[in-house]
A = this chain, B = another copy of it.
């Protein structure tokens, strides 16, 4: 049993961009020669989130549309007053989706569904350089 940690870096456009990071996570698992255990993913930051989905253009637009409908960018947010920010909606979207995800690994591969990808969603209102922490616990 061992712990292995990798940090993946991404250049994002923000504005609820939905990045498929499955391949990058799979490569990190291979390079660490992990065969079985859990992969725990985490976004260090309060305007990004992780989940899974079928990452095809239609479903991506649906998710962006639903987040805009439920937490509209143009609505009045206290956060935008107190901090001089414009990303109050980004914080809400990130907190609701959540910053952590845990995926089982067997025989060196994640047990994802056939049409299921791991996505990192950057809700912030500007392009950013982002990190995702990938931590394996297992054999």
Residues on A facing B (Cβ under 8 Å): 1-3, 5, 36-38, 40, 42-46, 51-54, 56-59, 61-63, 65-66, 70-71, 77-83, 88, 91-92, 94-104, 106, 111-113, 115-117, 119, 133, 135, 137-139
Distance from A89 Cβ to chain B, minimum over Cβ atoms (Å): 9
Collect the chain B residues with CB atoms within 8 Å of residue A71's CB. 66
Contact A3 B83 (CB under 8 A): no
Residue from A63, A66, A111 whose CB has the most chain B CB atoms within 10 Å: A66
Query: Could you list 18 further interchain pairs (A-B, Cβ under 8 angstroms) beyond the known A1-B1, A59-B91, A99-B116?
Result: A5-B36, A5-B106, A44-B112, A44-B113, A46-B53, A46-B113, A53-B91, A53-B95, A58-B80, A59-B88, A61-B78, A62-B77, A62-B91, A63-B92, A63-B95, A66-B70, A98-B101, A102-B102
